[in-house]
Chains A and B, each alone.
Chain A
Amino acid sequence: MNRSPRRDLIVGLFVLAGLAALAYLSMNVGGLTFRNQGGLVLYASFDEIGGLKPRAPVVIAGVKVGQVVDITLDADYRARVRMDLRRDLKLPVDTSASIMTAGLLGDQYISLQVGGDDRLLENGGTITITESALSLERLIGKFIYSTDRGGSNEAKPSSTGGER
């Protein structure tokens, strides 16, 4: 079989197009990143993370600065969350992390509130001030409980008033 430059060129283009499609799917859509490319790694422990999942965004003032990489259970039965953040980020040690929900039923993400301390969090450091996820079910439960109690409190004086 003879060499035919035109056909080889077209086959080469086909292979490159296919590989480009694969790369687009992996990197852009699939979110494949090369680990530890010099980014800032921080940990935070939460009592309750709700529906937080790996690859959830980490934001400061609504701007995405990194993502959740790993969630494990630590020795105190708290959720230890590993976050990979942008390298150029300089965060004070009193920065706090809270788990928020996008919309009423949306995905959960971590929001960082930057503190005012002079000392900075080091790479691999742990954020100590954390706020757990707001559980909608628990909130509704609390609300029902409090209205129940409030209702009986109101009912008591009126009933005693009726006796008088």
Chain B
Amino acid sequence: MLQLIEDIGFAAVRFVAELGRITWFAVDVARAVFTPPPRIRAFLGEMFNIGVLSLLIICVSGAAVGMVLGLQGYNTLVRFAAEESLGAVVGLSLIRELGPVLTALLTTGRAGSATTAEIGTMVATEQLDGLRMLAIDPVHLVVAPKTLAMIAAMPLLSALFIVCGLAGGYFVGVALMGVDAGSYVSSLQNAVDFRDDVLGSVLKAFVFGVLIGLISTFRGYTCQPTSAGVSAATTSTVVVGSVSVLLFDYIITALWGV
């Protein structure tokens, strides 16, 4: 019994210590971002890896989610003869919740895990120590561009996800189910507000970008220098990243009042 309480206490202390470490890590990254010279080439390369290479999965998933929303929404709304509101249903669900959250989850799996594995392998093969020997700060050269690229790419990917979803919902609702095109678009436009919905959506995507950018690089940077350590760190990125995205989604929704 005492052992159990001790274990709980240890877990709590470890959790808080971990929070402290990742906060200091975030401070280091932020300082590195503003330290000259800016690593523009490295940043662009990471934008390519994280943003461009995630485009396909984001667009296909967005369209699929939009189509499902269109179908489910239509089947429910048609019972109340309210299928004109389909645009509002698809648009609000995508913009408020599904767009940012699903984009963040997909990007965690697609790019966050890769980031952790890459930095983790650098740790395991002592490449980061090699950089330090050359008096190059690995946070400045390796970590900060990746984090920054994740933060910059997330709102863009989320917006593309939402637009693909709207197109998917339009396709199912208007082309397949025969909802009037004008009422789909006008119910969408009437329901969506700029500040409440679109700004909230961008804010969510931005916060998720910060979260995943920091978690994935932190896990890689602090991983055990073994192959098992790299694999554990990658797993941890996906688990911790996904859970914190969902938790923060609730917090932002509650605070922003969406």
Contacts and interface: CB of A to CB of B under 8 A. Distances in A.
A32 B198 contact: yes
Nearest to B39: A1
A26 B45 contact: no
A137 B12 CA distance: 56
Interface string A1-36: 111000110110011011101101110111110000
A7 to B, nearest CB: 5
A25 B95 CA distance: 9
A3 B41 contact: yes
A128 to B, nearest CB: 28
Contacts of A19: 156
A18 B41 contact: no
Contact of B159 (A1, A25, A32): A25
B189 A11 contact: no
28 contacts: A1-B42, A8-B44, A10-B52, A11-B44, A11-B47, A11-B48, A14-B47, A14-B52, A15-B51, A15-B156, A17-B160, A21-B156, A22-B156, A22-B202, A25-B95, A25-B159, A25-B163, A25-B192, A25-B201, A26-B194, A28-B189, A29-B95, A29-B189, A30-B194, A31-B189, A31-B194, A55-B193, A107-B190
Interface of A: 1-3, 7-8, 10-11, 14-15, 17-19, 21-22, 24-26, 28-32, 55, 107
B162 interface: yes
B172 interface: no
Nearest to B162: A25
Interface of B: 41-42, 44-45, 47-48, 51-52, 55, 91, 95, 153, 155-157, 159-160, 162-163, 166, 188-190, 192-194, 197-198, 201-202
A25 B41 CA distance: 30
A15 B188 contact: no
Given A7-B48, A14-B51, 19 more contacts: A11-B47, A11-B51, A14-B52, A18-B51, A18-B157, A18-B159, A21-B162, A22-B156, A22-B202, A25-B198, A28-B189, A29-B91, A29-B192, A29-B198, A30-B192, A31-B189, A31-B194, A32-B194, A32-B198
Contacts of A17: 156, 160
B160 A18 contact: yes
Contacts of B166: 29
Interface of A is mostly: helix
A50 to B, nearest CB: 16
Contacts of B201: 25
Contacts of A15: 47, 51, 156
Given A1-B41, A21-B163, A14 B194 contact: no
A25 B47 CA distance: 22
Nearest to B187: A107
Contacts of B157: 18
B197 to A, nearest CB: 6
A25 B188 CA distance: 11
Nearest to A57: B190
A19 B159 CA distance: 8
B194 A18 contact: no
Contacts of B162: 21, 25
Contacts of A3: 41
B70 to A, nearest CB: 16
A22 B198 CA distance: 8
Contacts of A14: 47-48, 51-52, 55, 156
Would you list the 10 A-B pairs with minimal beta carbon distance, nearest first? A18-B156, A30-B194, A21-B159, A30-B198, A1-B41, A32-B194, A22-B159, A21-B163, A14-B52, A11-B47
